Amino acid sequence: MSTYKLNHTDSFGKGGDANGLRSNQENGFSNLSSLAQSEKAVQEFLIQQTPMQANDDHLIEFSEALRTVAKALRGSSEGKALAQAEAAEWKRRYELERCKNLELLLKAPSNGVCADESNSNGMMDHSAKSPRLHVQENGKSGMHSLERICAHEVLQDCEPNSPNGSISPVHIMSACSVYYIFKVCFNVHGCRHHLSFPGDARGRLMINTKKKSSLLRAAISLHQIAVVNSCSVCRLTYTTCNIQISLTWESSPQTVIIFTKPNSTSVRVLSVEMVRWLRDHKGLNVYVEPRVKAELLSESSSFDFVQTWEDDKEISLLHPKVDLVITLGGDGTVLWAASMFKGPVPPIVPFSMGSLGFMTPFHSEQYRDCLESVLRGPLSITLRHRLQCHIIRDKARHDYETEETMLVLNEVTIDRGISSYLTNLECYCDNSFVTCVQGDGLILSTTSGSTAYSLAAGGSMVHPQVPGILFTPICPHSLSFRPLILPDHVTVRVQVPFNSRGSAWVSFDGKGRKQLEAGDALVCSMAPWPVSTACQVESTHDFLRSIHEGLHWNQRKIQSSDGPQ
Protein backbone atom coordinates (compact mmCIF):
# COMPACT_ATOMS: atom_id res chain seq x y z
CA MET A 1 0.00 0.00 0.00
CA SER A 2 2.78 2.40 0.86
CA THR A 3 4.23 1.72 -2.61
CA TYR A 4 1.05 2.90 -4.20
CA LYS A 5 1.01 5.96 -2.04
CA LEU A 6 4.48 6.88 -3.15
CA ASN A 7 3.80 5.99 -6.76
CA HIS A 8 0.78 8.16 -7.05
CA THR A 9 1.85 11.19 -5.12
CA ASP A 10 2.54 13.01 -8.35
CA SER A 11 -0.87 12.29 -9.77
CA PHE A 12 -2.55 13.78 -6.75
CA GLY A 13 -0.16 16.68 -6.93
CA LYS A 14 -1.65 17.68 -10.27
CA GLY A 15 -5.08 18.45 -8.85
CA GLY A 16 -3.75 20.44 -5.90
CA ASP A 17 -1.46 18.40 -3.67
CA ALA A 18 -1.78 14.95 -2.29
CA ASN A 19 0.53 15.73 0.59
CA GLY A 20 -1.70 18.66 1.33
CA LEU A 21 -4.67 16.31 1.41
CA ARG A 22 -2.90 14.02 3.83
CA SER A 23 -1.84 16.87 6.05
CA ASN A 24 -5.35 18.24 5.92
CA GLN A 25 -6.51 14.86 6.99
CA GLU A 26 -4.14 15.01 9.91
CA ASN A 27 -5.32 18.51 10.75
CA GLY A 28 -8.90 17.41 10.72
CA PHE A 29 -9.58 18.88 7.26
CA SER A 30 -10.44 22.22 8.67
CA ASN A 31 -10.07 24.02 5.39
CA LEU A 32 -13.16 23.37 3.31
CA SER A 33 -11.73 24.70 0.05
CA SER A 34 -8.69 22.44 0.18
CA LEU A 35 -11.05 19.57 0.90
CA ALA A 36 -13.07 20.36 -2.16
CA GLN A 37 -9.88 20.56 -4.20
CA SER A 38 -8.71 17.23 -2.85
CA GLU A 39 -11.98 15.58 -3.69
CA LYS A 40 -11.75 17.02 -7.19
CA ALA A 41 -8.18 15.73 -7.41
CA VAL A 42 -9.35 12.23 -6.54
CA GLN A 43 -11.99 12.41 -9.24
CA GLU A 44 -9.59 13.75 -11.86
CA PHE A 45 -7.12 11.11 -10.91
CA LEU A 46 -9.68 8.35 -11.40
CA ILE A 47 -10.72 9.72 -14.80
CA GLN A 48 -7.12 9.88 -15.97
CA GLN A 49 -6.29 6.29 -15.12
CA THR A 50 -5.65 3.87 -18.02
CA PRO A 51 -7.81 0.71 -18.09
CA MET A 52 -4.81 -1.23 -16.86
CA GLN A 53 -4.38 1.13 -13.90
CA ALA A 54 -8.13 1.15 -13.24
CA ASN A 55 -8.03 -2.56 -12.82
CA ASP A 56 -5.68 -2.12 -9.99
CA ASP A 57 -8.00 -3.07 -7.15
CA HIS A 58 -5.81 -1.65 -4.44
CA LEU A 59 -5.55 1.67 -6.13
CA ILE A 60 -9.30 1.94 -6.65
CA GLU A 61 -9.96 0.91 -3.10
CA PHE A 62 -7.49 3.47 -1.83
CA SER A 63 -8.93 6.26 -3.97
CA GLU A 64 -12.48 5.43 -2.96
CA ALA A 65 -11.46 5.39 0.66
CA LEU A 66 -9.84 8.80 0.36
CA ARG A 67 -12.82 10.21 -1.43
CA THR A 68 -15.19 8.89 1.24
CA VAL A 69 -13.04 10.30 4.03
CA ALA A 70 -12.79 13.66 2.28
CA LYS A 71 -16.55 13.77 1.80
CA ALA A 72 -17.29 12.79 5.38
CA LEU A 73 -14.89 15.34 6.77
CA ARG A 74 -16.23 18.03 4.52
CA GLY A 75 -19.74 17.23 5.66
CA SER A 76 -18.76 17.40 9.29
CA SER A 77 -16.82 20.65 8.85
CA GLU A 78 -19.75 22.23 7.07
CA GLY A 79 -22.15 21.01 9.74
CA LYS A 80 -19.94 22.37 12.48
CA ALA A 81 -19.59 25.74 10.77
CA LEU A 82 -23.37 25.92 10.36
CA ALA A 83 -23.99 24.93 13.97
CA GLN A 84 -21.51 27.56 15.15
CA ALA A 85 -23.14 30.23 13.02
CA GLU A 86 -26.55 29.23 14.32
CA ALA A 87 -25.40 29.22 17.93
CA ALA A 88 -23.89 32.69 17.43
CA GLU A 89 -27.17 33.90 15.95
CA TRP A 90 -29.20 32.54 18.85
CA LYS A 91 -26.78 34.00 21.35
CA ARG A 92 -27.17 37.38 19.66
CA ARG A 93 -30.96 37.12 19.92
CA TYR A 94 -30.77 35.98 23.50
CA GLU A 95 -28.56 38.95 24.40
CA LEU A 96 -30.96 41.29 22.59
CA GLU A 97 -33.86 39.85 24.50
CA ARG A 98 -32.05 40.13 27.78
CA CYS A 99 -31.11 43.77 27.16
CA LYS A 100 -34.67 44.53 26.14
CA ASN A 101 -36.05 42.94 29.30
CA LEU A 102 -33.57 44.84 31.37
CA GLU A 103 -34.60 48.10 29.74
CA LEU A 104 -38.24 47.24 30.31
CA LEU A 105 -37.59 46.60 33.96
CA LEU A 106 -35.72 49.84 34.35
CA LYS A 107 -38.62 51.65 32.74
CA ALA A 108 -41.08 49.80 34.96
CA PRO A 109 -42.03 52.71 37.21
CA SER A 110 -43.21 54.78 34.28
CA ASN A 111 -45.98 52.25 33.81
CA GLY A 112 -47.25 52.61 37.27
CA VAL A 113 -48.66 55.02 39.72
CA CYS A 114 -45.24 55.89 41.02
CA ALA A 115 -43.87 57.17 37.74
CA ASP A 116 -43.57 60.68 38.98
CA GLU A 117 -41.69 59.64 42.07
CA SER A 118 -38.47 58.75 40.28
CA ASN A 119 -35.55 61.01 40.81
CA SER A 120 -32.41 61.16 38.79
CA ASN A 121 -30.95 58.21 40.63
CA GLY A 122 -33.70 55.96 39.44
CA MET A 123 -34.95 55.91 43.03
CA MET A 124 -38.20 57.17 44.37
CA ASP A 125 -38.88 59.47 47.20
CA HIS A 126 -41.14 57.50 49.46
CA SER A 127 -42.68 60.52 51.00
CA ALA A 128 -43.71 62.06 47.68
CA LYS A 129 -46.69 59.85 46.91
CA SER A 130 -47.65 56.50 48.22
CA PRO A 131 -48.76 53.74 46.00
CA ARG A 132 -52.12 52.40 46.95
CA LEU A 133 -50.71 49.10 47.89
CA HIS A 134 -47.48 47.77 49.12
CA VAL A 135 -46.05 44.37 49.78
CA GLN A 136 -44.69 43.52 53.12
CA GLU A 137 -42.38 40.66 53.69
CA ASN A 138 -43.61 39.02 56.85
CA GLY A 139 -41.45 36.02 57.20
CA LYS A 140 -37.84 35.41 57.95
CA SER A 141 -35.82 37.84 55.92
CA GLY A 142 -32.74 35.68 55.77
CA MET A 143 -33.17 34.16 52.33
CA HIS A 144 -31.30 36.18 49.76
CA SER A 145 -29.67 34.73 46.73
CA LEU A 146 -27.70 36.11 43.85
CA GLU A 147 -29.22 36.28 40.46
CA ARG A 148 -27.08 34.57 37.89
CA ILE A 149 -26.59 37.28 35.34
CA CYS A 150 -25.83 40.43 37.22
CA ALA A 151 -26.76 40.18 40.84
CA HIS A 152 -24.13 42.06 42.63
CA GLU A 153 -25.78 43.48 45.66
CA VAL A 154 -27.07 41.64 48.63
CA LEU A 155 -29.21 43.03 51.36
CA GLN A 156 -27.83 41.93 54.64
CA ASP A 157 -29.75 41.66 57.82
CA CYS A 158 -28.28 43.32 60.81
CA GLU A 159 -29.20 42.70 64.36
CA PRO A 160 -31.77 45.20 65.61
CA ASN A 161 -29.64 45.90 68.60
CA SER A 162 -26.32 45.98 66.89
CA PRO A 163 -23.36 47.36 68.81
CA ASN A 164 -23.43 50.86 67.36
CA GLY A 165 -27.13 51.01 68.04
CA SER A 166 -27.85 52.75 64.74
CA ILE A 167 -28.54 49.91 62.40
CA SER A 168 -31.83 48.13 62.21
CA PRO A 169 -32.65 45.29 59.87
CA VAL A 170 -33.19 46.08 56.28
CA HIS A 171 -36.68 45.21 55.26
CA ILE A 172 -37.75 44.82 51.74
CA MET A 173 -41.23 46.13 52.00
CA SER A 174 -42.95 47.05 49.05
CA ALA A 175 -44.51 47.36 46.37
CA CYS A 176 -47.34 47.47 45.11
CA SER A 177 -47.51 44.16 43.47
CA VAL A 178 -49.23 46.01 40.71
CA TYR A 179 -46.37 48.24 39.83
CA TYR A 180 -43.48 46.57 41.52
CA ILE A 181 -41.82 49.37 43.31
CA PHE A 182 -39.61 47.92 46.01
CA LYS A 183 -39.09 49.97 49.09
CA VAL A 184 -36.11 49.48 51.25
CA CYS A 185 -36.32 50.88 54.77
CA PHE A 186 -33.27 51.21 56.91
CA ASN A 187 -31.80 53.23 59.71
CA VAL A 188 -28.67 55.23 59.22
CA HIS A 189 -27.34 57.23 62.18
CA GLY A 190 -30.55 56.81 64.06
CA CYS A 191 -32.81 58.09 61.25
CA ARG A 192 -35.19 55.87 59.42
CA HIS A 193 -34.95 56.13 55.66
CA HIS A 194 -37.11 54.85 52.92
CA LEU A 195 -35.84 54.35 49.43
CA SER A 196 -37.77 52.96 46.55
CA PHE A 197 -36.36 51.15 43.58
CA PRO A 198 -37.88 49.84 40.45
CA GLY A 199 -38.16 46.12 40.66
CA ASP A 200 -39.72 43.31 38.80
CA ALA A 201 -41.54 41.68 41.69
CA ARG A 202 -39.75 38.45 41.08
CA GLY A 203 -37.88 39.73 44.04
CA ARG A 204 -35.28 41.52 42.00
CA LEU A 205 -34.39 45.07 42.77
CA MET A 206 -32.82 47.26 40.17
CA ILE A 207 -30.11 49.41 41.69
CA ASN A 208 -27.87 51.57 39.60
CA THR A 209 -24.62 51.56 41.52
CA LYS A 210 -23.09 54.23 39.33
CA LYS A 211 -25.73 56.64 40.57
CA LYS A 212 -25.71 55.80 44.22
CA SER A 213 -27.11 58.47 46.45
CA SER A 214 -25.20 59.44 49.56
CA LEU A 215 -27.89 57.70 51.58
CA LEU A 216 -27.44 54.48 49.68
CA ARG A 217 -23.68 54.81 50.01
CA ALA A 218 -24.15 55.24 53.75
CA ALA A 219 -26.33 52.15 53.88
CA ILE A 220 -23.70 50.25 51.99
CA SER A 221 -20.92 51.48 54.20
CA LEU A 222 -22.91 50.42 57.23
CA HIS A 223 -23.18 47.00 55.66
CA GLN A 224 -26.90 47.15 55.40
CA ILE A 225 -26.52 46.77 51.68
CA ALA A 226 -23.35 45.04 50.62
CA VAL A 227 -21.84 45.68 47.25
CA VAL A 228 -20.33 42.47 46.09
CA ASN A 229 -19.39 43.71 42.71
CA SER A 230 -19.89 46.84 40.78
CA CYS A 231 -21.46 47.24 37.41
CA SER A 232 -23.69 49.78 35.79
CA VAL A 233 -26.92 47.98 36.60
CA CYS A 234 -27.14 45.71 39.58
CA ARG A 235 -29.98 43.56 40.67
CA LEU A 236 -30.71 42.11 43.97
CA THR A 237 -32.42 38.81 44.05
CA TYR A 238 -34.59 38.18 46.95
CA THR A 239 -36.03 34.74 46.82
CA THR A 240 -39.64 34.74 47.71
CA CYS A 241 -39.89 31.04 48.42
CA ASN A 242 -40.64 30.25 52.03
CA ILE A 243 -41.46 33.85 52.62
CA GLN A 244 -45.02 34.88 52.91
CA ILE A 245 -45.75 38.09 51.10
CA SER A 246 -48.66 40.25 52.05
CA LEU A 247 -50.20 43.33 50.56
CA THR A 248 -51.22 46.30 52.60
CA TRP A 249 -53.45 49.01 51.21
CA GLU A 250 -51.97 52.46 51.60
CA SER A 251 -55.24 54.05 50.62
CA SER A 252 -58.63 52.46 50.19
CA PRO A 253 -59.14 50.49 47.01
CA GLN A 254 -61.43 52.25 44.56
CA THR A 255 -61.95 50.03 41.55
CA VAL A 256 -62.43 46.34 40.91
CA ILE A 257 -62.81 44.22 37.77
CA ILE A 258 -64.85 41.03 37.89
CA PHE A 259 -64.18 38.20 35.42
CA THR A 260 -66.76 35.44 35.28
CA LYS A 261 -66.92 31.98 33.75
CA PRO A 262 -69.37 32.12 30.82
CA ASN A 263 -72.53 30.02 30.49
CA SER A 264 -72.94 29.28 34.17
CA THR A 265 -76.17 30.10 35.94
CA SER A 266 -74.70 30.01 39.43
CA VAL A 267 -71.91 32.35 38.37
CA ARG A 268 -74.39 34.70 36.76
CA VAL A 269 -76.56 34.82 39.87
CA LEU A 270 -73.58 35.49 42.10
CA SER A 271 -72.15 38.17 39.83
CA VAL A 272 -75.43 40.12 39.93
CA GLU A 273 -75.43 39.99 43.72
CA MET A 274 -71.75 40.78 44.11
CA VAL A 275 -71.76 43.77 41.75
CA ARG A 276 -74.67 45.29 43.66
CA TRP A 277 -73.00 44.69 47.03
CA LEU A 278 -69.65 46.13 45.91
CA ARG A 279 -71.38 49.29 44.73
CA ASP A 280 -73.95 49.77 47.50
CA HIS A 281 -71.97 48.61 50.50
CA LYS A 282 -68.40 49.33 49.51
CA GLY A 283 -68.82 52.26 47.15
CA LEU A 284 -66.49 50.75 44.57
CA ASN A 285 -66.30 51.36 40.84
CA VAL A 286 -66.99 48.07 39.14
CA TYR A 287 -65.77 46.93 35.73
CA VAL A 288 -67.06 43.76 34.08
CA GLU A 289 -66.58 42.15 30.69
CA PRO A 290 -68.85 43.49 27.89
CA ARG A 291 -70.74 40.16 27.88
CA VAL A 292 -71.43 40.47 31.61
CA LYS A 293 -72.51 44.09 31.36
CA ALA A 294 -75.11 43.02 28.79
CA GLU A 295 -76.26 40.26 31.15
CA LEU A 296 -76.54 42.70 34.05
CA LEU A 297 -78.48 45.22 32.01
CA SER A 298 -80.85 42.49 30.96
CA GLU A 299 -81.50 41.91 34.69
CA SER A 300 -82.13 45.56 35.45
CA SER A 301 -81.37 48.93 33.93
CA SER A 302 -80.17 50.05 37.38
CA PHE A 303 -76.87 48.35 36.55
CA ASP A 304 -75.91 51.14 34.18
CA PHE A 305 -73.28 52.27 36.70
CA VAL A 306 -71.24 49.22 35.80
CA GLN A 307 -68.34 50.01 33.50
CA THR A 308 -66.83 47.92 30.72
CA TRP A 309 -64.49 48.17 27.73
CA GLU A 310 -64.95 47.93 23.99
CA ASP A 311 -62.15 45.61 23.00
CA ASP A 312 -59.45 43.66 24.78
CA LYS A 313 -56.76 46.22 23.93
CA GLU A 314 -58.53 48.73 26.11
CA ILE A 315 -58.16 46.56 29.15
CA SER A 316 -54.41 46.89 29.01
CA LEU A 317 -54.94 50.60 29.62
CA LEU A 318 -57.11 49.86 32.62
CA HIS A 319 -54.56 48.27 34.87
CA PRO A 320 -53.29 51.49 36.47
CA LYS A 321 -56.87 52.29 37.50
CA VAL A 322 -57.75 48.87 38.85
CA ASP A 323 -56.95 47.89 42.43
CA LEU A 324 -58.32 44.38 42.48
CA VAL A 325 -59.48 41.63 40.17
CA ILE A 326 -62.19 39.19 41.26
CA THR A 327 -62.73 35.93 39.42
CA LEU A 328 -65.83 33.76 39.64
CA GLY A 329 -65.17 30.34 38.14
CA GLY A 330 -62.48 27.69 38.22
CA ASP A 331 -58.73 27.81 37.55
CA GLY A 332 -59.51 28.49 33.91
CA THR A 333 -61.11 31.81 34.85
CA VAL A 334 -57.99 32.82 36.76
CA LEU A 335 -55.92 31.95 33.68
CA TRP A 336 -58.34 33.96 31.57
CA ALA A 337 -58.17 37.00 33.85
CA ALA A 338 -54.37 36.89 33.98
CA SER A 339 -54.16 36.62 30.20
CA MET A 340 -55.99 39.94 29.90
CA PHE A 341 -53.02 41.74 31.45
CA LYS A 342 -49.95 41.74 29.23
CA GLY A 343 -47.96 43.70 31.79
CA PRO A 344 -48.56 44.29 35.49
CA VAL A 345 -51.56 42.47 36.96
CA PRO A 346 -53.57 43.78 39.89
CA PRO A 347 -53.95 41.24 42.72
CA ILE A 348 -56.57 38.58 41.97
CA VAL A 349 -59.14 37.34 44.47
CA PRO A 350 -60.35 34.03 43.00
CA PHE A 351 -63.67 32.53 44.08
CA SER A 352 -64.08 28.84 43.50
CA MET A 353 -67.01 27.99 41.25
CA GLY A 354 -65.54 25.07 39.36
CA SER A 355 -64.83 21.41 40.04
CA LEU A 356 -61.21 21.76 41.12
CA GLY A 357 -59.53 24.89 42.33
CA PHE A 358 -55.79 25.03 42.78
CA MET A 359 -55.73 28.76 42.37
CA THR A 360 -59.21 29.49 43.71
CA PRO A 361 -59.13 29.19 47.50
CA PHE A 362 -62.20 31.32 48.33
CA HIS A 363 -65.67 29.92 48.81
CA SER A 364 -68.27 31.88 46.94
CA GLU A 365 -70.87 31.47 49.71
CA GLN A 366 -68.73 33.57 52.02
CA TYR A 367 -67.89 36.25 49.49
CA ARG A 368 -68.97 39.14 51.72
CA ASP A 369 -66.70 38.24 54.65
CA CYS A 370 -63.90 37.39 52.33
CA LEU A 371 -64.08 40.65 50.36
CA GLU A 372 -64.48 42.68 53.57
CA SER A 373 -61.23 41.22 54.79
CA VAL A 374 -59.44 41.69 51.46
CA LEU A 375 -60.54 45.30 51.14
CA ARG A 376 -59.44 45.95 54.72
CA GLY A 377 -56.06 44.29 54.15
CA PRO A 378 -53.41 43.19 54.66
CA LEU A 379 -53.87 40.13 52.46
CA SER A 380 -51.54 37.22 52.02
CA ILE A 381 -50.69 36.49 48.44
CA THR A 382 -49.06 33.82 46.34
CA LEU A 383 -46.78 35.44 43.82
CA ARG A 384 -47.18 33.28 40.72
CA HIS A 385 -44.57 33.55 38.02
CA ARG A 386 -45.47 33.68 34.37
CA LEU A 387 -43.53 32.62 31.31
CA GLN A 388 -43.11 34.87 28.32
CA CYS A 389 -43.00 33.05 25.02
CA HIS A 390 -42.40 34.15 21.52
CA ILE A 391 -42.24 32.33 18.26
CA ILE A 392 -39.41 32.99 15.86
CA ARG A 393 -40.31 31.96 12.34
CA ASP A 394 -37.56 30.63 10.17
CA LYS A 395 -38.87 32.77 7.32
CA ALA A 396 -38.30 35.87 9.44
CA ARG A 397 -35.25 34.68 11.31
CA HIS A 398 -33.43 37.99 10.97
CA ASP A 399 -36.25 39.98 12.52
CA TYR A 400 -36.35 40.21 16.25
CA GLU A 401 -39.66 39.22 17.87
CA THR A 402 -41.66 38.43 14.83
CA GLU A 403 -44.86 37.66 16.71
CA GLU A 404 -46.63 38.95 19.76
CA THR A 405 -45.14 37.79 23.03
CA MET A 406 -47.51 35.48 24.91
CA LEU A 407 -47.62 35.33 28.69
CA VAL A 408 -48.65 32.09 30.35
CA LEU A 409 -49.48 31.41 33.96
CA ASN A 410 -49.62 27.61 33.68
CA GLU A 411 -47.59 26.41 30.73
CA VAL A 412 -46.72 26.53 27.08
CA THR A 413 -47.15 23.21 25.31
CA ILE A 414 -45.51 22.11 22.08
CA ASP A 415 -47.17 18.98 20.77
CA ARG A 416 -47.78 16.97 17.63
CA GLY A 417 -51.28 18.37 17.10
CA ILE A 418 -53.28 16.31 14.63
CA SER A 419 -50.15 14.73 13.19
CA SER A 420 -49.73 11.05 13.95
CA TYR A 421 -45.93 11.27 13.74
CA LEU A 422 -43.63 11.61 16.71
CA THR A 423 -42.67 15.21 17.41
CA ASN A 424 -39.05 15.95 16.90
CA LEU A 425 -38.10 18.97 18.96
CA GLU A 426 -34.57 20.21 19.55
CA CYS A 427 -34.30 21.88 22.93
CA TYR A 428 -31.67 24.33 24.07
CA CYS A 429 -31.21 26.01 27.43
CA ASP A 430 -29.25 29.27 27.18
CA ASN A 431 -27.86 27.90 23.92
CA SER A 432 -26.62 24.65 25.45
CA PHE A 433 -28.19 21.66 23.81
CA VAL A 434 -30.58 19.93 26.23
CA THR A 435 -32.14 17.11 24.29
CA CYS A 436 -34.25 16.14 21.34
CA VAL A 437 -37.86 15.39 22.30
CA GLN A 438 -39.29 12.50 20.35
CA GLY A 439 -42.74 11.72 21.60
CA ASP A 440 -46.05 13.53 21.80
CA GLY A 441 -44.52 16.83 22.83
CA LEU A 442 -43.08 18.98 25.57
CA ILE A 443 -44.51 21.13 28.34
CA LEU A 444 -42.67 24.16 29.66
CA SER A 445 -44.52 24.94 32.84
CA THR A 446 -44.40 27.46 35.63
CA THR A 447 -44.44 26.11 39.14
CA SER A 448 -48.07 27.25 39.40
CA GLY A 449 -48.84 25.10 36.39
CA SER A 450 -47.04 22.14 37.93
CA THR A 451 -50.35 20.78 39.22
CA ALA A 452 -52.01 21.06 35.80
CA TYR A 453 -50.97 19.47 32.48
CA SER A 454 -47.36 18.96 33.57
CA LEU A 455 -48.57 16.84 36.48
CA ALA A 456 -50.66 14.72 34.11
CA ALA A 457 -47.52 14.19 32.00
CA GLY A 458 -45.53 12.95 35.00
CA GLY A 459 -43.94 16.20 36.17
CA SER A 460 -43.38 16.93 39.82
CA MET A 461 -45.68 19.13 41.85
CA VAL A 462 -43.82 22.26 42.90
CA HIS A 463 -44.82 24.94 45.40
CA PRO A 464 -45.96 27.91 43.27
CA GLN A 465 -43.53 30.28 44.89
CA VAL A 466 -40.48 28.24 43.95
CA PRO A 467 -38.94 30.07 41.01
CA GLY A 468 -38.29 27.67 38.15
CA ILE A 469 -39.33 26.29 34.77
CA LEU A 470 -40.55 22.71 34.53
CA PHE A 471 -39.38 20.83 31.45
CA THR A 472 -41.81 17.93 31.13
CA PRO A 473 -42.00 15.62 28.11
CA ILE A 474 -45.38 14.29 26.96
CA CYS A 475 -45.28 10.55 26.31
CA PRO A 476 -41.61 10.44 25.34
CA HIS A 477 -40.63 7.42 23.27
CA SER A 478 -37.69 6.63 25.50
CA LEU A 479 -37.44 4.94 28.86
CA SER A 480 -35.01 7.39 30.38
CA PHE A 481 -36.58 10.76 29.66
CA ARG A 482 -37.36 12.03 33.17
CA PRO A 483 -38.82 15.53 33.66
CA LEU A 484 -36.45 18.34 34.63
CA ILE A 485 -36.82 21.51 36.66
CA LEU A 486 -34.69 24.36 35.36
CA PRO A 487 -33.82 27.55 37.23
CA ASP A 488 -35.91 30.62 36.54
CA HIS A 489 -33.19 32.69 34.90
CA VAL A 490 -32.69 30.48 31.85
CA THR A 491 -34.02 30.96 28.35
CA VAL A 492 -35.34 27.81 26.77
CA ARG A 493 -35.52 27.44 23.00
CA VAL A 494 -37.47 24.67 21.34
CA GLN A 495 -36.93 24.29 17.62
CA VAL A 496 -38.51 22.10 14.99
CA PRO A 497 -35.49 20.81 13.06
CA PHE A 498 -35.39 21.10 9.29
CA ASN A 499 -35.37 17.34 8.90
CA SER A 500 -38.51 16.92 11.03
CA ARG A 501 -41.21 14.79 9.42
CA GLY A 502 -43.99 17.09 10.47
CA SER A 503 -44.75 20.41 12.08
CA ALA A 504 -45.54 21.00 15.76
CA TRP A 505 -48.24 23.00 17.54
CA VAL A 506 -47.87 25.43 20.40
CA SER A 507 -50.59 26.33 22.86
CA PHE A 508 -50.56 28.85 25.66
CA ASP A 509 -52.37 27.86 28.85
CA GLY A 510 -54.28 25.42 26.67
CA LYS A 511 -55.36 28.14 24.24
CA GLY A 512 -54.35 30.01 21.08
CA ARG A 513 -52.81 27.14 19.11
CA LYS A 514 -50.15 28.12 16.60
CA GLN A 515 -48.30 25.93 14.14
CA LEU A 516 -44.52 25.62 14.18
CA GLU A 517 -43.05 24.66 10.81
CA ALA A 518 -39.62 23.14 10.29
CA GLY A 519 -37.02 25.72 11.29
CA ASP A 520 -39.41 27.69 13.53
CA ALA A 521 -38.57 28.05 17.20
CA LEU A 522 -40.30 28.92 20.44
CA VAL A 523 -38.24 30.96 22.89
CA CYS A 524 -39.41 31.00 26.47
CA SER A 525 -38.16 32.71 29.61
CA MET A 526 -39.55 33.98 32.91
CA ALA A 527 -41.75 37.04 32.44
CA PRO A 528 -41.14 40.15 34.50
CA TRP A 529 -44.80 40.48 35.51
CA PRO A 530 -46.04 37.80 37.91
CA VAL A 531 -49.60 37.33 39.06
CA SER A 532 -50.47 37.71 42.71
CA THR A 533 -53.43 35.68 43.87
CA ALA A 534 -54.92 36.20 47.30
CA CYS A 535 -54.52 33.35 49.77
CA GLN A 536 -57.20 32.16 52.08
CA VAL A 537 -54.71 31.43 54.84
CA GLU A 538 -51.21 31.67 53.40
CA SER A 539 -49.40 30.36 50.35
CA THR A 540 -48.07 27.06 51.66
CA HIS A 541 -51.23 26.22 53.57
CA ASP A 542 -53.37 26.92 50.52
CA PHE A 543 -51.08 24.89 48.24
CA LEU A 544 -51.12 21.86 50.52
CA ARG A 545 -54.85 22.11 50.96
CA SER A 546 -55.37 22.22 47.20
CA ILE A 547 -53.34 19.07 46.57
CA HIS A 548 -55.02 17.28 49.47
CA GLU A 549 -58.55 18.28 48.52
CA GLY A 550 -58.14 18.56 44.76
CA LEU A 551 -56.00 15.51 44.10
CA HIS A 552 -56.42 13.44 47.27
CA TRP A 553 -52.66 13.43 47.33
CA ASN A 554 -51.19 10.41 49.11
CA GLN A 555 -54.47 9.42 50.71
CA ARG A 556 -54.23 6.00 52.23
CA LYS A 557 -55.82 4.27 55.14
CA ILE A 558 -53.54 4.48 58.17
CA GLN A 559 -52.00 1.10 58.98
CA SER A 560 -53.27 -0.31 62.25
CA SER A 561 -50.81 -0.58 65.14
CA ASP A 562 -51.55 -4.24 65.80
CA GLY A 563 -48.88 -6.06 63.88
CA PRO A 564 -45.22 -6.99 64.01
CA GLN A 565 -43.30 -4.67 66.36
> Which chain residues interact with ligand ATP by CB under 6 A?
259-262, 289, 329-333, 335-336, 354-357
Rounded to whole angstroms, the Cα distance separating 170 from 187 reads 8
449 touches ligand NAD by CB under 6 A: yes
| Residue 259, contacted partner among ligand ATP, ligand NAD, none, CB below 5-8 A by kind | ligand ATP
Q: Determine the Cα angle at 399 with ends 397 and 401, to 5°.
A: 100
Q: Do residues 430 and 520 touch, judged by C-beta distance below 8 A? A: no
Rounded to whole angstroms, the Cα distance separating 415 from 411 reads 12
| Residue 262, contacted partner among ligand ATP, ligand NAD, none, CB below 5-8 A by kind | ligand ATP
| Residue 459, contacted partner among ligand NAD, ligand ATP, none, CB below 5-8 A by kind | none
Q: Nearer to ligand NAD by C-beta: 38 or 539?
A: 539
Least CB distance to ligand ATP at residue 291 (A)? 7
By CB under 6 A, name the one of 509, 525, 526, 528 that touches ligand NAD: 509
Q: Give the DSSP per-residue string, 118-177.
A: B-TTS-EETTT---SEEEEE-S--------TTTB-EEE----TT-TTS-----EE----T
* Of 219, 222, 223, the residue nearest 193 (C-alpha): 219
Least CB distance to ligand ATP at residue 365 (A)? 16
Q: Do residues 340 and 511 touch, judged by C-beta distance below 8 A? A: no
147 touches ligand NAD by CB under 6 A: no
Q: How many binding residues for ligand NAD (CB under 6 A)?
A: 19
| Residue 358, contacted partner among ligand NAD, ligand ATP, none, CB below 5-8 A by kind | ligand NAD
452 touches ligand NAD by CB under 6 A: yes
The maximal CA–CA distance of the chain, rounded, in angstroms, is: 107
Using DSSP, state whether 564 is helix, strand or coil: coil
By CB under 6 A, name the one of 180, 453, 505, 543 that touches ligand NAD: 453
| Residue 261, contacted partner among ligand ATP, ligand NAD, none, CB below 5-8 A by kind | ligand ATP
Least CB distance to ligand ATP at residue 375 (A)? 22
483 touches ligand NAD by CB under 6 A: no
Q: Nearer to ligand NAD by C-beta: 147 or 509?
A: 509
488 flagged as catalytic: no
Please report, as residue ranges, which positions from 340 to 369 form the binding site for ligand NAD (by CB under 6 A).
354-356, 358-359
Least CB distance to ligand NAD at residue 471 (A)? 15
Which one is catalytic: 200, 323, 331, 542? 331
Using DSSP, state whether 116 is helix, strand or coil: helix
Q: What is the dihedral of CA 241, 244, 247, 248, to 10 degrees?
A: -140
CB burial of 251-266 (b: ≥16 within 10 Å; e: otherwise) equals eebeebbbbbbeebee
Could you tell me which residues come within 8 angstroms of residue 258 by beta carbon, excluding any fewer than 6 positions away? 271, 274, 275, 286, 287, 288, 292, 325, 326, 327, 328
Which residues bind to ligand NAD, rule: CB under 6 A?
330-332, 335, 354-356, 358-359, 410-411, 448-449, 451-453, 456, 509-510
Which residues are designated catalytic?
331
